[in-house]
Amino acid sequence: MKNTLIKEIVKALRETQDVERARHCQKFFKTAKGEYGEGDVFLGVRVPELRKLAKIYRHISMNEISHFLKSKYHEERQFALFVLVNQFKKSDDKTKESIFQLYVNHTHYINNWDLVDASAHEIVGGYLFDKDRDILYELARSNNLWERRIAIIATFFFVKKNDFNDTLKISEQLLPDTHDLIHKAVGWMLREIGKRDLETETTFLKTNYLDIPRTTLRYAIEKFSPKKRQQYLSGKI
């Protein structure tokens, strides 16, 4: 039976839902049969509202977070992840480990790119920064699209600390991936490296040029000058 606090949060979410927005989200996040978000269900609650509620209810328990993380509704899972990120940032080491374990044990529910992108670097990357990172390479080998995206996006935390090694290794591991959402994620992380160390990014691009998917390349060179972008796209590097 749902506890009173869960009922209160559900009520708050329903008060801000928008049927028309939900229809738009169903299409935008590719929820039709055979698409990457197949079967996902939206309420139509806007992200700023979810973040506001996550701040209000930032002290809810792990059991309550787990309840929402397992929800069939996209925004309830997103709300749970926002709460986890908020708690992780202000927790002691023991609690951070519990949050990390909850996250990696529930990747089945972190099943769209917006859910991954708002949480993987904060929780997975944040936890692993000063620890063994082998789990990222395991996730990168997963048959689950979202676990592979978690693996590369988690390294964004490292990139922000000017630690590029694992991002480059996992990017190389994921170059043969066939999914567009992985191509985009890898390109995004390479671009973020380039913002901080252009030489490191260009060395990677030149070394792996023949194996880099076109979408990955376009994302990676987005901040290059028009002339330099054209050189890469035409293979004249």
What would the pLDDT profile of 25-80 be if each residue is shown by its tens digit? Answer: 999 999 999 999 999 999 999 999 999 999 999 999 999 999 999 999 999 999 99
Contacts of 220 (CB under 8 A, 6+ apart): 186, 187, 190, 191, 194, 201, 205, 212
Which residues in the chain come in under a pLDDT of 70?
1-2
CA distance 25 to 73: 12
Question: Percent of the chain beyond pLDDT 70?
Answer: 99
3-state secondary structure of 41: strand
Tell me what pLDDT residue 2 has: 66
CA distance 25 to 167: 30
Tell me what pLDDT residue 237 has: 80
Contact assessment for residue 212 and residue 197, using Cβ atoms and an 8 Å cutoff: no
Domains and CATH numbers, the chain: 1-108 (1.25.10.90), 119-237 (1.25.40.290)
Contact assessment for residue 194 and residue 168, using Cβ atoms and an 8 Å cutoff: no
